[in-house]
Each structure stands twice: as C-alpha cells, then as structure tokens.
Amino acid sequence: MDLGAHIGVFTILIINNMDDGLVLAVEPIIYNYILAVNNILNNAIKRNIKVKVVQKAIDIADGVIKTLDWAGFRNYAESISMNTLINIFEQKGYGEYIDLLKMDIEGAEYYLLTHDNQWLKRVKIIVGELHPYVYGKTGLIKIYESLKSNGFRCFIVERRVPNLHYALSIVKNSNPYMVLFGVWRSLTALFIPYVSLNYLYCVNLKMD
C-alpha cells in the first residue's frame, strides 16, 4: 500500500518486484493522481499485477477534511481511513494483512499512527518519510512509542541534504503550487544551506 503515491514512482517499484497480489495507491492531489494512474496502470498491465489507485486523502475516518496548501489556500478533500483501505484487500480476496505500507503524507502520519491505530496490527512493514517540522520532536517521540507499543521495531534515520538540491526536486513536481513552493525554497537556500529529512523503517515483530 502506497499512501501519498505522488505520480507513482514507489508504486511502480513495488509492482516491478512482486509476482502476485494487490497494490493500493492513494494520492489526493488531482494533478499527481492523473499522472499516477497513467504511470501505474501501464506498468501493472505489463506485469499482470492488480492495482487500485484512489484519489483521496488518508485520515483516521472516512468523510471530508479541510486542508491548507503551502500558500494558505483552503481546500476540501474526501478522506478514507486505513480500516476502509485494508477492507478493500479483504473484499478482493487478498487477506487482512498488508505486507508493506509506505507513507509520505506531509505530516498526516502523526494522527494516523497515534490515534485509533488498531489497524497497525495488520501491517508487517512500514517505511516512509516523517515530517517533524509539522508536529515537533515531541510528536516524533509519540509516533515511535505508538509503533513500539504495537509490536514494531523501528529505525528513524535523519539525513541532511543541501536545501537547493531538495528545492530543485520539488520544482519537478506536477502540482503547480508545489513548483512555486520549490522556487521559494530555492531562494531560502541562500540563508538555510541544509534541510533535514527523516525516514522511518519499521518491522512488526509480532508477525515475524
């Protein structure tokens, strides 16, 4: 399962390294979603892998949530819960467990991993990017403790990268708002030379 699939790069990597099963990709931004559908389905057909791409925002419950983009504009997006997503696997006959969950959801991982998180017991491996600038070091600790209490052994790796390099990678985004954000980040690189990226890798020891 790929939460925050963007244009499908990680989803395609999964597809190209599996022989059977179902891949579920979730991406709320319409620009990214359209590209993701095209990229992912083309690769899935070649590999004969079943894939479902969902244009929704992940949340702790199904419904509609209010979001703000980087420029402060208010948006509304349909949301879908982890329980609903996992039920899709069951309904299609692929069991109740997720072999691999990747998430890059711009800070929403905090509530997803620390609130109403009984679904964690149904996931074997979690990888993704954390965003402590959204919820702080305290939030990072709560995420770690929540995963540990649910049977996961976790590693969090911090990587410092040149801010300009990070900004240029954002400029390549298909979302025009993110392109502008990338340009702004390029200017901040003059004053903030490095940015910290935090990566998460967790294994559910109860499912070994």
Is 198 contained in some domain?
Answer: no
Write down the pLDDT at residue 75: 63
State the pTM of this model.
Answer: 0.83
Choose the weakest-confidence range: 36-40, 45-49, 129-133: 45-49
Whether the per-residue pLDDT at 198 is higher than 50: the answer is: yes
Whether the per-residue pLDDT at 124 is higher than 70: the answer is: yes
| CA gap 38, 149 in Å, rounded | 39
Is 175 contained in some domain?
Answer: no
Q: Each residue of 1-15: pLDDT tens digit?
A: 999 998 899 999 999
Give the domain CATH number at 54.
Answer: 3.40.50
Is 53 contained in some domain?
Answer: yes
Name which residue leads in pLDDT, 136 or 189: 136
List of residues 6+ apart from 102 with CB closer than 8 A: 1, 2, 3, 4, 10, 14, 126, 127, 128
Is 52 contained in some domain?
Answer: yes
Whether the per-residue pLDDT at 24 is higher than 60: the answer is: yes
Write down the pLDDT at residue 208: 65
| CA gap 53, 38 in Å, rounded | 10
List of residues 6+ apart from 28 with CB closer than 8 A: 55, 56, 57, 67, 77
Write down the pLDDT at residue 81: 87
Domain that holds residue 90: 2-148
List of residues 6+ apart from 114 with CB closer than 8 A: 142, 143, 146
For 118-128, what is the mean pLDDT?
A: 94
Choose the weakest-confidence range: 121-125, 134-138, 170-174, 204-208: 170-174
| CA gap 34, 53 in Å, rounded | 10
For 10-28, what is the mean pLDDT?
A: 91
Is 185 contained in some domain?
Answer: no
Average pLDDT, the chain: 84
Is 156 contained in some domain?
Answer: no
Helix axes 176-188, 163-171, angle to 10 degrees: 160
Write down the pLDDT at residue 36: 92
Is 183 contained in some domain?
Answer: no
Q: Each residue of 59-117: pLDDT tens digit?
A: 877 777 665 444 445 566 788 888 888 888 788 777 778 999 999 998 899 999 999 89
For 48-65, what is the mean pLDDT?
A: 84
Whether the per-residue pLDDT at 174 is higher than 60: the answer is: no
Is 203 contained in some domain?
Answer: no
HSE value, Cβ hemisphere, 13 Å, CA-based, for 152? 26
Write down the pLDDT at residue 192: 77
Write down the pLDDT at residue 11: 95
The total of structural domains in the chain comes to 1
Write down the pLDDT at residue 143: 96
Residue 122: name the closest of 145, 142, 99, 105 by CA.
99
